[in-house]
Amino acid sequence: MSSERRVESRSTRPRRGRRGPERPPPPPVEPSGPAFQGDPTPDQRVSDFHADRYRARASALRVIPLSGDASTRRYYRLVDGDERSVISLNPEPFAPEQLPFVVIRNLMAGWGLPVPEIRDVDGGRGILLQEDLGDLSLQEGLKDASPGEREELYRQALDQLVVLQREAARAPQRAICFQIAFDFEKLSWEMHFFWKHFLEGYRKCDLSVEDRAMISDGFHRLCAEISSWPRVLTHRDFHSRNLMSYRGQLYWIDFQDARMGPPHYDLASLLRDSYVDLDEDFVAERAEEFRQRAVPGEARDTFQRRFELMSIQRNLKALGTFGYQGTVKQSRVYLPYIPRTLANARRNLARYPEFSGLRRALARHLEELQ
């Protein structure tokens, strides 16, 4: 992962009269890794890893492909008698001491956060062998949870989030996760990803010049305000599919893209989750509990505004990912979560008159926002 330069937020003064979206600079180009020796297929790399690590016992192992996430990694469950592990197969070789997953995982483990054990590394083959946390995500566990169990699960998740923000603030901030941030450029790039892959790609919206200008102005205002807030370390994808219920507690996965961002970022990911329906009173109670513990000096109305504006950005960003997966990757996995995500965005956009232009322009093409 290449580092991104942190920049100061730009003016929130509206810009008018543009004929198209304001395009932020493209993200830094990441150098491609060295080719695998002999260019073996992913399955061949896994087989070679087994043969080298387990030798005579390799034939007794069971290897089960697992469904992946929206990344370029592949996952396999490795069953060795009573012991289970997960193979994370990266798309290119890596130096273990530089791989963000390893670096950030070790930081988080040192802070007492629940992350999987790393059991073996084969950087030349792009392989990490990790502790298997099972298949019960928070998303699945909530389906049969009682109201009391649901409340306890969310309190546990938010307790862990408080620990992340507190311990990271105390730590030496030399690792890659401290050098990149949800700055104006990153936030704006995500909004234009939504524009390209959801509005234009998935929904085939034909925007007028006026709508393009209003959407661009709204995105500029939203990203400029968010990027001006204080920053802490964020997990970056802290939602119910990335929290695993294992051995009586929630464990974290998919944290390799951790970066600096507002204290409200992970809270918005969790409480305005695309994958779970949460009652508004429940959300308000959990958010206030978090405010009192994580940012007690922030006034309640300021905190509420920041939480809700962050939720808008997060939800639109998620829609961009869903659209990209549906159109570019031809995957229907995320499409069922679009209505809930649009409903979350509509609820929060409706609360802020200063973003009424953005909402009206989007709603002319997305009836769910009307």
Structure tokens at 327: 């159109």
**pLDDT value at position 195?**
98
- Stretches in the chain below the pLDDT threshold 50: 1-25, 27-33
Nearest 5°: CA angle at 201, between 198 and 203? 65
**Going by C-beta distance under 8 Å and a sequence separation of 6 or more, which residues neighbour residue 40?**
48
Q: For residues 49 and 234, what is the distance between their CA atoms, to the nearest angstrom?
A: 33
DSSP 282-338: HHHHHHHHHHHHH-TTS-HHHHHHHHHHHHHHHHHHHHHHHHHHHHTS---TTGGGH
Other CB atoms within a 10 A radius of the CB of residue 171 amount to 14
Condensed to tens digits (0 to 9), the pLDDT of residues 311-360 reads 999 999 999 999 999 999 999 999 999 999 999 999 999 999 999 999 99
**pLDDT value at position 43?**
80
Q: For residues 283 and 267, what is the distance between their CA atoms, to the nearest angstrom?
A: 10
Structure tokens at 302: 């300021």
Q: For residues 351 and 346, what is the distance between their CA atoms, to the nearest angstrom?
A: 9
Q: For residues 184 and 191, what is the distance between their CA atoms, to the nearest angstrom?
A: 11
**Residue 244 pairs with which residues in a beta bridge?**
137, 251
**Residue 121 pairs with which residues in a beta bridge?**
128
- Residues 87 and 76 sit within 8 Å (Cβ to Cβ): yes
Q: For residues 365 and 326, what is the distance between their CA atoms, to the nearest angstrom?
A: 18
Q: For residues 204 and 268, what is the distance between their CA atoms, to the nearest angstrom?
A: 28
DSSP E strand stretches across 165-296: 232-234, 243-246, 249-252, 259-261
Coil, helix or strand at residue 76:
strand
The full 3-state SS of 99-134, as one line of letters, equals CHHHHHHHHHHHCCCCCCCEEEEEHHHCEEEEECCC
Residues of 203-218 as b/e, b for ≥16 C-beta within 10 angstroms? eeeebeeebbbbbbbb
Q: Closest Cα partner for 256 from 75, 104, 91?
A: 104
